[in-house]
Amino acid sequence: MSAPAHSVRPIRKAIFPVAGLGTRFLPASKTVPKEMLTVVDMPVIQYAVNEAREAGIEHFVFVTGRNKAVIEDYFDLQPELQETLENRNKTEMLSVLKQSQLAAGTTSFTRQQEPLGLGHAVWCGREIVGNEPFALLLPDMVMMAEKGCLSSMMEVYNQTGGNVIGVEECDPDEVSNYGIVAPGDEVAGGFEIKGMVEKPAKNDAPSNMYINGRYILQPEIFDLLGKQKAGTGNEIQLTDAMLRLANEQSFYGTKFTGRTFDCGSKEGFIAANVAFSLSRDDTGTLVRDIIEGLMKK
Ligand code: UTP
């Protein structure tokens, strides 16, 4: 049931796990982190940061790994570039540059020395997050919507407290690719989650609603992750720890109705580039013409 509003602690910090190897993007990911590949002209990581910013996040925690230092540089100031743009009166580009930066003191970078799994990456953020609830965004999942997925989840969280997960419907034939939730009663614009199962067979799946890479979690998850043994793929799995947390705390789902592109896969990344370029004023018509031309051949 909903917790009283006064007991709901605000979500100030968000973790962005960016330490994965990105093997599906080899050879590019040998030297370019997959989070820095661009959807039109913005790196994948910027979409998740913008979504978090829109939802009111104040502190951005990046869990990086080797060869990912360029992500830290990306969010820094670029004084020479800024000066050159100012001298050339490029006001539009200057504002694009400003929007991509994060304010002093609002970022933290920590390392996951070995890619032991998503659950382990989240655990690496424990000292920075401390004893408060936090958001977790998997940057690979790039979302297109009027209102960001995390903002919608915050609206539910502000009424329910507890843990909130973003979910979406998938093709019932594809449930075995995802973490799937069992929905319960509707509450506060979301619904109670009665169960979660990682990559179920089609006939065992409790629904076709998959966990879409956006989470609001209570800090008790860190202790559970610290004790969590490796699971599927010999990796420390976040879902395993969430299942244990669900024995003690409430979980709620928020159904996201926008479009999500899994930019960790080639096809999702290409689809995101097509969809975002079609949706933009500066590129839409041009790209539509190109696609139509290609389809005729
Ligand atoms: P993925 O399952 O997409 O794995 O991780 P990956 O290693 O990044 O990519 P592939 O499968 O080799 O192509 C989901 C998210 O969890 C992070 C990734 O960076 C991505 O945001 N992750 C995964 C870590 O930070 N550390 C890990 O040990 C594993």
**What's the chain's average pLDDT?**
94
Q: What is the pTM of this model?
A: 0.94
Residue 295 sits in the same domain as residue 220: no
pLDDT score of 1 more than 50: no
pLDDT tens per residue across span 207-218:
999 999 999 999
- Name the domain count of the chain: 2
Show the tokens assigned to 162.
Answer: 């507890």
> Distance, CA 27 to ligand 1 centroid (Å)?
16
Q: What is the pLDDT of residue 183?
A: 95
Is 179 within 8 Å of 202 (Cβ atoms)? Answer: no
Dist CA 33 CA 27 (whole Å): 11
Confidence of residue 164 (pLDDT cuts 50, 70, 90): very high
Range of the domain at 74: 7-171+212-262
Looking at the fold, whether 152 and 12 belong to one and the same domain comes out as yes
Per residue in 3-49, pLDDT tens?
Answer: 454 579 999 999 999 999 999 999 999 999 999 999 999 999 999 99
Residues 219 and 291 in one domain: no
Asked if 296 and 257 sit in the same domain, the reply is no
Report if residue 196 sits inside a domain: no
pLDDT of residue 275: 98
63 and 26 housed in the same domain: yes
Domain co-membership, 227 together with 278: no
> How remote is the CA of residue 52 from the centroid of ligand 1, in Å?
19
- Ligand 1 binding site (Cβ under 6 Å of any ligand atom): 17-24, 63, 112, 115-118, 120-121, 138-140, 264
| pLDDT value at residue 6 | 53
Q: Is residue 84 part of a domain?
A: yes
84 and 136 part of one domain: yes
Q: Does residue 269 share a domain with residue 158?
A: no
Roughly what angle, to the nearest 10 degrees, separates helices 220-227 and 238-245?
A: 120
In a domain, 137, yes or no: yes
Query: Which atom of ligand 1 is nearest the CA belonging to 29?
Result: 13
Convert the pLDDT of each residue in 132-155 to its tens digit. Answer: 999 999 999 999 999 999 999 999
CB 256 within 8 Å of CB 194? no
SS3 label, residue 41? coil
Do 134 and 274 have their domain in common? no
For residue 265, how far is its CA from the centre of ligand 1 (angstroms)?
11
Kindly state whether residue 192 falls inside one of the protein's structural domains.
no
* Rounded Cα–Cα distance for residues 208 and 198 (Å): 12
Burial class of residue 79 in the structure, from the number of CB atoms within 10 Å of its CB (0-12 exposed, 13-18 middle, 19+ buried) = exposed
Q: Which atom of ligand 1 is nearest to the CA of 264?
A: 3
Q: What is the pLDDT of residues 71-93, one digit of tens each?
A: 999 999 889 999 999 999 999 99
> Is the domain of 296 the same as that of 216?
no
* CA 126 – CA 47 distance, rounded (Å): 24
Q: Is residue 44 part of a domain?
A: yes
Q: What is the pLDDT of residue 24?
A: 95
Distance 158 CA to ligand 1 centre (A): 29
Same domain, 251 and 284: no
CATH number of the domain that residue 18 is part of? 3.90.550.10
Are residues 221 and 88 part of one domain? yes
